[in-house]
Chains A and B, each alone.
Chain A
Amino acid sequence: MSLLPVLAITVGGGAIALLVRREERAATAVAVVALLATLAALAIVRPGDAAPIGGVTVVATDYGRVFLALGTLAGLGVTIIGAAAGMPRDLPAATLLGLGAATLALASSDPIVAVLAAAGGSFVAVLVTLAPPRSAGTTGTAAHHLRAVAIATAIALLAAAWLSRPTGVVAAEPEAAGLALLALATAVALRWAAIPFHRWAARVAVVVPELAVPAVILWGASVLALVILGLAETSLAVTGAPLAAERAVIVTVGVGALLLGVAAAYLHDDLGHILTYAIVADAGIVLLALGALDANAWAPVRLWLLGTVVTRTAFGAWAAAIRAAFGARRLRDLGGWARRAPLLAGALLAIAVATVGWPGLAVFDARGDVVAAATETPLTAIVLIGTLGHIGYFARIAGAGIGRRSAAVAGGLDAWPRWPVRGASIRPADASRIWRANRGPVASFVVVLLAGLAVLVAAGGLGGPRAAIGGLPRPTPSATPSPSIAPTVSPSPPRTRTPIPTSSPSPTASGSVEPSGSVDPSGSVDPSGSVSPSP
């Protein structure tokens, strides 16, 4: 089964949710049903199944399936927590349409279509930024958001078009290849709000509720990053051009984004800002992978992205549940929250474990591999220690949790289910009353589930490492090469690199795309768009 049913369900469900956007319950119900249907459709998708649509082959990959399944589960959790704790209008529609865009972006063998699809998901997220209640700053924030997405899209499209030219002789033009690499990195940095392009995201943290922050900043950015990483892997890394200066610039920005993002998250007192700067710091890892331009970085960064998307979504859901329970989002107003909400305390611990990890944990090792591929020895240690800085803000939040109980926490909701609910019995007519009385515990329970999912992915569960090695479909040029103009300079042979350590075999023959590490010695891409068996 190809990915077409997934595409149809997500886009159709998103359109319906958008049409009924004024009826919050209806939109939520549509989203829940569509997300469940998406999960069912993903369960019957077989990696390797391909469908030609409009001249482009859309290929289901193991990685795309895992990414979409995790996105769907995260979206389902966010929707349920939103129904319990309140969510911005259009979040259900944006979630579904974003998933639809991710489906096309991760399955398209044409990089330009993939970039366009990722951009579509990002533009839809602007609807969430503009959701009521609107304050004076909402329009300014949304305008910044729109500009950032538009410019990132334009840069990424130009670079993708340049790299997809029919001649395909990027190796013969090292300067152009360097510019293309810089353009790709700039697009990722802008869209992911890496420091110094983080201004719009800092504003989003104020306007958008914590629950929706990952949907607005992270989800679309991670899809675009995956597409761009795939493009860099298949079009730039194979050329063998050293691109030392360009890579040094990208690595410098990546290290800066990582360290400064972690520091900013530690210094802020507002949960929305802490979450946002944690996401900003994550951009550093993607930039490091792009700057490494090394076969040893591709699979680890894809694995790390799987964990990050789920972990940050769980963190946003946790912050939303805390706000719903205690009506506060500043740490100084949240004294003693952990004693009042032990479920959420356990969830925060799980989220911290999934974020930071320890040696041997899949996501920890993947992050270390990316850093090691991008940096030399003394800097590697500094950056690796910097990545542990995430412990700092989690410790601050935990410290507030065991501190003196604040007024907001003392007057907050109970974390435990209420049963029996006064005046209600087990009848369908009383369901809404029971739901209203237990919204806090339901939100906490779903947060715990999301945190558990984050730990599972961080530990390498759900086939993440194997899927990350398989990667995404190899890009093929969308235009037919002109027979009259043939490349006159043969590309340089690929750089010899240490192969990706594979503890488990790649997906089997018919069900896989060509693995990331393998390179066609001729430097050309397969124009047929067909998938080939993994070794």
Chain B
Amino acid sequence: MSPALAVIGVAVLAGAVVAVAAHEGRPAILGLILALIAAPLVAAPLPPVLPLTARLVAAILVGYVLWIAMRSAPAHGRTRGSRLGWPVEALVAGAAATVGFGLGGAGAGGNPEAMSVGLALTALAIPPLVRGDALQVGIGTALLVTAVEVLRVGLAGPASPLEHLAASAVLAAIGAAVALLVDASIATGGSLEVADRRPGGARPADEGVEPVRPWYRPRLRR
């Protein structure tokens, strides 16, 4: 195991744990930025400077647009972070990292450290993705795409510079979409909750839509 990669991997996972466990928006965003900045460094050899700069800019951009969107969030940007707390998330990440390291870089050019970090990031990314909170959905999305990028390094070796540029563009697109989602949730509901169902049980998305016309209606004998 390379000590440098191990240190970078711990930094990535620490940022991701903070991002998914924090109950306030700003620490969560800072954690996300740390994870996104450090994730491309989990590779041997390190990517060239230009692609690395693109990833750095993309990570900061994602954090910046989320920060701006969260400025109008009520209650100090309270978000639906992990209910189990950061120690549990850290343990989950540790367990997944151990399994990933055990896989040992499934491809000939892959590396076990990247598999370890990628699997741990995936484990951390899935819970926020399914939470009904705009910021958490965004954090989950960004972490999941980053996790798969790291896993890809674990499987198939270092990414090409164009792949880093494409990943940066994808992260920027995710940042823009999530910032708009956060803004829309605050504007329509006054919180980060994403409206899935109304209190009465009717789905808001079904508003104004004709229900499915029954094509077969059995005649009941009286």
CB-CB contacts below 8 Å: B158-183 with A: 158-167, 169-170, 173-174, 176-178, 180-181
Chain B CB within 8 A of A113 CB = yes
Closest B-chain residue to A202, C-beta based?
Answer: B205
Chain A CB within 8 A of B73 CB = no
Tell me the minimal C-beta distance from B215 to chain A in angstroms: 6
Chain B CB within 8 A of A135 CB = yes
Contact of B162 among A54, A158, A160, A162 (CB under 8 A): A54
User: Contact between B184 and A139 (Cβ–Cβ < 8 Å)?
Assistant: yes
Mask, A97-133, CB within 8 Å of B = 1, is 1000000100010101100110110011011001000
Knowing A146-B137, A478-B163, the reply to whether A162 touches B155 (Cβ < 8 A) is yes
User: Contact between A165 and B156 (Cβ–Cβ < 8 Å)?
Assistant: yes
Closest A-chain residue to B147, C-beta based?
Answer: A154
**Residues of the B chain whose Cβ atoms lie less than 8 Å from the Cβ of A142:** 177, 180-181, 184, 194
User: Contact between A140 and B106 (Cβ–Cβ < 8 Å)?
Assistant: no
User: Contact between A166 and B163 (Cβ–Cβ < 8 Å)?
Assistant: no
Chain B CB within 8 A of A141 CB = yes
Knowing A135-B188, A139-B185, A166-B156, the reply to whether A157 touches B194 (Cβ < 8 A) is no
CB-CB contacts below 8 Å: A137-170 with B: 137-143, 146-147, 150-151, 153-154, 157-158, 160-162, 164-167
User: Contact between B156 and A477 (Cβ–Cβ < 8 Å)?
Assistant: yes
**Residues of the B chain whose Cβ atoms lie less than 8 Å from the Cβ of A113:** 160, 162-163, 166
Q: Which of B2-10, B96-104, B195-203 contacts A (4 or more CB under 8 A)?
A: B195-203
Tell me the minimal C-beta distance from A140 to chain B in angstroms: 4
Contact of A137 among B132, B148, B204 (CB under 8 A): B204
Knowing A140-B205, A146-B181, A481-B109, the reply to whether A119 touches B145 (Cβ < 8 A) is yes
Bound complex: CA of A199 vs CA of B108, how far in Å? 39
Tell me the minimal C-beta distance from A465 to chain B in angstroms: 31
Contact of B152 among A161, A268, A269 (CB under 8 A): A161
Bound complex: CA of A134 vs CA of B195, how far in Å? 12
Chain B CB within 8 A of A270 CB = yes
Tell me the minimal C-beta distance from B31 to chain A in angstroms: 18
Tell me the minimal C-beta distance from B57 to chain A in angstroms: 14
User: Contact between A139 and B189 (Cβ–Cβ < 8 Å)?
Assistant: yes
Chain A CB within 8 A of B1 CB = no
Chain A CB within 8 A of B70 CB = no
**Residues of the B chain whose Cβ atoms lie less than 8 Å from the Cβ of A151:** 129, 144
Tell me the minimal C-beta distance from A260 to chain B in angstroms: 13
Bound complex: CA of A478 vs CA of B17, how far in Å? 31
Bound complex: CA of A55 vs CA of B206, how far in Å? 48
User: Contact between B173 and A124 (Cβ–Cβ < 8 Å)?
Assistant: yes
Mask, A8-28, CB within 8 Å of B = 1, is 000000000010000000000
Bound complex: CA of A332 vs CA of B107, how far in Å? 58
User: Contact between A54 and B160 (Cβ–Cβ < 8 Å)?
Assistant: yes
Closest A-chain residue to B212, C-beta based?
Answer: A267
Knowing A143-B134, A166-B157, the reply to whether A56 touches B109 (Cβ < 8 A) is no
Chain A CB within 8 A of B89 CB = no
Chain A CB within 8 A of B51 CB = yes
Tier of interface size on chain A: 35 or more
Tell me the minimal C-beta distance from B213 to chain A in angstroms: 6
User: Contact between A143 and B181 (Cβ–Cβ < 8 Å)?
Assistant: yes
Chain A CB within 8 A of B187 CB = yes
Chain B CB within 8 A of A206 CB = yes
Contact of A127 among B106, B130, B176 (CB under 8 A): B176
Closest A-chain residue to B204, C-beta based?
Answer: A137
Bound complex: CA of A175 vs CA of B162, how far in Å? 31
Q: Identify the interface centre among B177, B187, B204: most chain A CB within 10 Å of its CB.
A: B177
Contact of B207 among A18, A97, A154, A206 (CB under 8 A): A206
**Residues of the A chain whose Cβ atoms lie less than 8 Å from the Cβ of B81:** none
Chain B residues within 8 Å of chain A by Cβ, number: 65
Chain B CB within 8 A of A479 CB = yes
Knowing A267-B215, A478-B160, A482-B109, the reply to whether A147 touches B141 (Cβ < 8 A) is yes
Contact of A139 among B134, B140, B162 (CB under 8 A): B134
Knowing A123-B177, A268-B212, A273-B209, the reply to whether A134 touches B148 (Cβ < 8 A) is no
Mask, B125-137, CB within 8 Å of A = 1, is 0000110101001
Chain B CB within 8 A of A429 CB = no
User: Contact between B181 and A137 (Cβ–Cβ < 8 Å)?
Assistant: no
**Residues of the A chain whose Cβ atoms lie less than 8 Å from the Cβ of B170:** 116, 119-120, 123, 153
Bound complex: CA of A270 vs CA of B160, how far in Å? 46
User: Contact between A146 and B178 (Cβ–Cβ < 8 Å)?
Assistant: yes
**Residues of the A chain whose Cβ atoms lie less than 8 Å from the Cβ of B137:** 143, 146-147
**Residues of the A chain whose Cβ atoms lie less than 8 Å from the Cβ of B164:** 54
**Residues of the A chain whose Cβ atoms lie less than 8 Å from the Cβ of B134:** 139, 143
User: Contact between A139 and B181 (Cβ–Cβ < 8 Å)?
Assistant: yes
Chain B CB within 8 A of A136 CB = yes
User: Contact between B204 and A269 (Cβ–Cβ < 8 Å)?
Assistant: no
User: Contact between B162 and A56 (Cβ–Cβ < 8 Å)?
Assistant: yes
Chain B CB within 8 A of A489 CB = no
Knowing A112-B152, A142-B184, the reply to whether A479 touches B198 (Cβ < 8 A) is no
Chain B CB within 8 A of A46 CB = no
User: Contact between A150 and B141 (Cβ–Cβ < 8 Å)?
Assistant: yes
User: Contact between A136 and B188 (Cβ–Cβ < 8 Å)?
Assistant: yes
User: Contact between B173 and A478 (Cβ–Cβ < 8 Å)?
Assistant: no
User: Contact between A139 and B194 (Cβ–Cβ < 8 Å)?
Assistant: yes
Contact of B195 among A108, A139, A164, A480 (CB under 8 A): A139
**Residues of the B chain whose Cβ atoms lie less than 8 Å from the Cβ of A139:** 134, 181, 184-185, 188-189, 194-195
Closest B-chain residue to A268, C-beta based?
Answer: B212
User: Contact between B160 and A150 (Cβ–Cβ < 8 Å)?
Assistant: no
Bound complex: CA of A485 vs CA of B106, how far in Å? 12
**Residues of the A chain whose Cβ atoms lie less than 8 Å from the Cβ of B185:** 139
**Residues of the A chain whose Cβ atoms lie less than 8 Å from the Cβ of B21:** none
User: Contact between B163 and A56 (Cβ–Cβ < 8 Å)?
Assistant: yes
Knowing A116-B170, A482-B108, A485-B108, the reply to whether A269 touches B210 (Cβ < 8 A) is yes
User: Contact between A153 and B195 (Cβ–Cβ < 8 Å)?
Assistant: no
Tell me the minimal C-beta distance from A22 to chain B in angstroms: 13
Bound complex: CA of A153 vs CA of B152, how far in Å? 13
Chain B CB within 8 A of A340 CB = no
User: Contact between B156 and A161 (Cβ–Cβ < 8 Å)?
Assistant: yes
**Residues of the A chain whose Cβ atoms lie less than 8 Å from the Cβ of B213:** 267-269
Listed by A's residue number, 23 A-B pairs whose Cβ atoms lie within 8 Å are A55-B162, A56-B162, A112-B156, A113-B162, A119-B170, A124-B173, A130-B184, A139-B189, A139-B194, A140-B203, A146-B138, A147-B130, A147-B137, A150-B145, A151-B144, A154-B144, A157-B148, A158-B155, A161-B155, A162-B155, A269-B213, A478-B156, A479-B158
Known: A54-B165, A56-B162, A116-B166. 4 other contacts (CB 8 A): A117-B169, A147-B137, A157-B148, A167-B107
Rank and list the top 6 A-B pairs by shortest CB-CB distance, nearest first.
A54-B162, A137-B204, A479-B157, A54-B161, A165-B107, A55-B160
